[in-house]
Amino acid sequence: MNNDKQMVFACVDGSSLSEAVCDYAVWVVRRIDLPLKLLHTIDHHHEKGELIDLSGSIGIDSRDHLLEEMASHEQQQNKLRLQKGKSILQAAKQRVIQDGIDDPITCLRHGSLIDSLIELESNIRMLAIGVRGKVHENQTGQIGEKLESLIRSLHRPILVVCTEYRSPERIMIAYDGSEAAEKAVEMVAHSSLYKGLECHLVCAEKKASAEGLLEKAAEKLKKSGDKEIFTARLAGKPEEKLCEYQEAHNIDLTVMGAFTHTRIHDLLLGSFTVKMLIKSKKPLLLLR
């Protein structure tokens, strides 16, 4: 693979959010004019049975026969996983073709999703993924098992989808004056992805200096000249107030820094990023 080739990646697993992931990825592709790659991974590690931990109380012949049966079963399961993976990718390909993308790239890989994405990271311009995968899609009070590790492992923008597709018209930047928040402001100010969208710059930071930083950030956004800019200061628990603002102002997409605190801070006080992923009813575009 050409490591200089930048693409928008969409991770699909056949879950109820896979179609929305495809739709949002197509929205990104149309606005920044890059190729789209649909990715599905087959992780055998968590599905394999133990083939060698057999009871010593059975005879050698019986044990060998059992090993043969288990190996045959595993081969059959691998074939089924491969067929299922190809079917998932084919369905996703048809979806994005219907959305107007003529030549999507499909990629089926064996191994963990995180390892695959780390290996492909140099090619990722932006990644779209569901907040929960197939296994946890009905557990609405939590995020996917691997999502936090995935976000921490990659240093690329990650669009986390949690609902059916709706073409974004209004975005919100969750601003706290951090380096990641400043990066979000710069990206929104200069990227064609956000051109013409109504932009809400919202600060839930308690620091006194936040007001001045908010004004400077708003000026950067206004210089782009292609957006209507609104600013707001919120008081209260940030994740609660930001999600309330989303609903009250009909925000379609929230842009924010991810895991800007240390792991120790997150362990003691809880991760703001995870809280937002759980509480938000709108997609989050996370920046590292």
Is residue 77, in this structure, part of any structural domain at all? Answer: no
CA distance 11 to 50: 29
Q: Mean pLDDT over residues 194-209, rounded?
A: 87
pLDDT at residue number 35: 97
In this structure, the answer to whether residues 176 and 279 fall within a common structural domain is: yes
The arithmetic mean of pLDDT across residues 131-149, rounded, is 82
Give the relative orientation of helices 272-279 and 238-248 as an angle to the nearest 10 degrees.
30
Q: How many domains does the chain have?
A: 2
Do 184 and 239 have their domain in common? yes
Query: Are both 28 and 130 inside the same structural domain?
Result: yes
- pLDDT tens readout for residues 63-88: 666 677 777 777 787 888 899 999 99
Element (H, E) at 70: helix 60-98
- Is 71 inside any structural domain? no
Rg of the chain in Å (alpha carbons): 22
Q: How confident is the model at residue 4 (pLDDT cuts 50, 70, 90)?
A: low
The answer on 181 and 107 residing in a single domain is no
Is residue 208's pLDDT more than 80?
Answer: no
Instruction: Tell me the C-alpha distance between 248 and 92, whole Å.
Output: 33
Q: Kindly report, residue by residue over 87-132, the tens digit of the pLDDT.
A: 999 999 999 999 999 999 999 999 999 999 999 999 999 999 999 9
Cβ 162 vs Cβ 282: under 8 Å:
yes
Residue 198 within any structural domain of the chain: yes
pLDDT tens readout for residues 241-260: 999 999 999 999 999 988 76
* Residue bearing the bigger pLDDT, 31 or 211: 31
Boundary (domain end) residue, out of 144, 165, 186 = 165
Residue 171, pLDDT score: 98
Instruction: Report the 10 Å Cβ neighbour count for 137.
Output: 17
145-168 mean pLDDT = 94
Contact 252, 123 (CB under 8 A): no
pLDDT of 278 > 70? The answer is yes
Asked whether the predicted pLDDT for residue 155 surpasses 60, the reply is: yes
213 with 177: CB under 8 angstroms? yes
The verdict on 178 and 161 lying in the same domain is no
pLDDT at residue number 179:
85
Shared domain for 25 and 118, answered yes or no, is yes
Whether 143 maps to a domain, the answer reads yes
Are 266 and 183 found together in one domain?
yes
Instruction: Evaluate whether residue 61 is within a structural domain.
Output: no
Last residue of a domain, one of 114, 146, 165: 165
147 and 12 part of one domain: yes
User: What is the pLDDT of the chain when averaged over all its residues?
Assistant: 87
Could you tell me if residue 218 is inside a domain?
Answer: yes
Same domain, 161 and 171: no
Judgement on whether residues 145 and 259 belong to the same structural domain of the protein: no
Pair 35, 105 in one domain: yes
**Same-domain status, 202 and 214:** yes
- Residue 127's domain spans which residues? 1-46+83-165
Task: Please check whether residue 54 lies inside any domain of the structure.
Answer: no
Higher pLDDT among residues 195 and 144, named by residue: 195
* CATH number of the CATH domain containing 95: 3.40.50.620
What order do you get walking across the sheet with 229-233 strand by strand? 105-110, 36-42, 7-11, 124-130, 158-161, 284-287, 253-257, 170-175, 198-203, 229-233
- Flag whether 58 is in a domain: no
Average pLDDT over residues 149-156: 93
What's the mean pLDDT in 139-167?
A: 91
Domain boundary among 103, 136, 165: 165
